Structure 1
């Protein structure tokens, strides 16, 4: 029974897209809180305003050593030029594993329309940065000796790069990004998996007007593929925006489904399951400020903890340009 429990925990850890260590900045649903730059470098400076975003995420409240993530990002245009810069800082802790990272981004935006009133824009972005990985083995051995455990806090820095492109046409958009272009050193015997952290992201969506004044709807999807493990997931998202005189309120729902299953022993044989996450989102924009909250519930049957994952986002827009695009495009306007 003890072996079965350990096996189930290990299966959950390795099948869950939110628990893989040494992978760089984790990808949750925070990009839906007006924060696409976190996952797509080509979105740096794409908006009408420069953006500052702070996020704090806590998983499994009450659980010791539960995963936690904090990020800070800023991006904006360089004056009136088509070029933009951005930066991301983050601290991610997951039990005995932790990582701190910093990325710098350069992006360039090409307008195909005659002026900025009509949105027809192709963008390119390149991010480069360092991630400091840490593994605390000091509590692994209570007594005795194990030759494969050093019993110290190990640390390893890695340099990597992300490249992405985005296309906006009035209310429609598409993003494609390759994260972790370079290979790392690897951390175990299966070097191909742990050194190849390359991940491919594809986002598409559109914003639709409704008959109700000020109400717009935005369906979108995000597809992810990990090259090293050949795993893929898909997010199906839906958001609704309501404009008011001085504010905008929005609600959303995201469903993440793993396209690959994992096998486990259920007492009567071997079963399999796929990870599933349901995330309701709510937010408000008031003048130059933004606040958002999202809660993630893991819906598959075998889970480490029934507690959800809470995330808060604070934002501030500055250096806004005078001319706005004539489109319902919240990620840009």
Structure 2
């Protein structure tokens, strides 16, 4: 997809937070609560059965070169008896106009059993992988063909990456912390056309609150912090009907939790509202959809963001489920 000018693209990059000074570089999903592996390697094996997760997001529909994000993951436990080790494989692709970034991770989690009923686990996870950054200079249409800041052809950069996290859960709650982009890029060229990876921290949590025998409330929260851009807070709540239908809403916004004096105030005003629905087609298969609408800087330039998710578990059959997996 070609764009009309470099200026238009620069505006898009700045609004999305991909500038070097104020980057929130990690991928953004509204339905993160259905695939914790995307933000925390310690989530690997949480559902115990091997589970496939797919997610596809089109952000800011109607904007040329708008972000398109896709991910695929599969995870499960390696031993059906002890369930002490979880493994996961995660692939991401994120495209923003001429930028096309792909990553692959292998995730490992050691899962400590905390009680005799095996309804509580404390999990420690690590992930190792690599990211390929790519910029296609031919997708720019500059006013001057001699602009030295526009790359010629396709430029690539390959970097290793490392992640770590902790995840605790019971049948009715979970809490996790994690850190992404842990490897520092020592000696990197400050004038590089590629965005420098920034270490990013996550804190997530959620509950299941039974309201009636058929209806439960599932609130959740996620904080994302990279110590450079605005702290991002996402608060969501779902109503779960008969463990089959999920209907919910979320609010995401930049918040001031740390003193960042050089951060433009406009970046803390970015906010979005999300409406989501998910259906458990079978006990092992879920389909979800969410719609986001930015409430501040971009409402007149885009028609919202769309996200689809799909989950399928497979493996051994069980006569009964002691701890239903709501997260």
The match for 2:90 is 88
Deviation for aligned residue 1:221: 1.0
* Cα distance change of structure 1 residues 233 and 95 upon mapping to structure 2, 3 Å threshold: same
Is 1:114 the counterpart of 2:116? The answer is yes
For 1:236, what is the secondary structure of its paired residue? strand
* Cα distance change of structure 1 residues 299 and 12 upon mapping to structure 2, 3 Å threshold: farther
Q: Is the 8 A contact 1:140 1:149 kept in 2?
A: no
Distance in 1, Cα, partners of 2:7 & 2:95? 23
Deviation for aligned residue 1:150: 3.5
Distance in 2, Cα, partners of 1:317 & 1:305? 39
Q: What TM-score do you get using the length of structure 2 for normalisation? A: 0.84
The match for 1:104 is 106
* Cα distance change of structure 1 residues 165 and 43 upon mapping to structure 2, 3 Å threshold: same
Structure 2 counterparts to residues 167-182 of structure 1, below 5 A? 167-182=168-183
* Cα distance change of structure 1 residues 52 and 328 upon mapping to structure 2, 3 Å threshold: closer
Structure 2 counterparts to residues 1-333 of structure 1, below 5 A? 13-17=13-17, 25-32=26-33, 34-80=34-80, 81-116=83-118, 119-138=119-138, 139-141=140-142, 143-184=144-185, 186=188, 188-189=190-191, 194-210=195-211, 212-227=212-227, 229-243=228-242, 248-259=244-255, 262-263=264-265, 274-287=269-282, 288-302=284-298, 305-320=301-316, 322=318, 326-327=322-323, 329-331=325-327
Deviation for aligned residue 1:274: 0.8
Measured against aligned partners, the alpha-carbon deviations of 1:68-88 in whole angstroms (never above 9, x if no partner) come to 111111000002241011111
Name the count of aligned residue pairs: 310
Q: Is the 8 A contact 1:74 1:86 kept in 2?
A: yes
Deviation for aligned residue 1:277: 1.0
For 1:37, what is the secondary structure of its paired residue? helix
Deviation for aligned residue 1:320: 4.6
Q: RMSD across aligned C-alpha pairs, in angstroms? A: 3.0
The match for 1:267 is none
For 1:195, what is the secondary structure of its paired residue? coil
Q: Is the 8 A contact 1:105 1:126 kept in 2?
A: yes
Q: Is the 8 A contact 1:183 1:195 kept in 2?
A: no
Worse-superposed segment, 124-133 or 58-67: 58-67
Measured against aligned partners, the alpha-carbon deviations of 1:56-111 in whole angstroms (never above 9, x if no partner) come to 11123343322111111100000224101111112211011111111111111101
For 2:245, what is the secondary structure of its paired residue? strand
Q: Is the 8 A contact 2:61 2:302 kept in 1?
A: no
Deviation for aligned residue 1:328: 6.0
Distance in 1, Cα, partners of 2:132 & 2:67? 17
For 1:91, what is the secondary structure of its paired residue? strand
Worse-superposed segment, 280-289 or 193-202: 193-202
Q: Is the 8 A contact 1:48 1:324 kept in 2?
A: no
Distance in 1, Cα, partners of 2:69 & 2:96? 9
Q: Is the 8 A contact 1:255 1:278 kept in 2?
A: yes
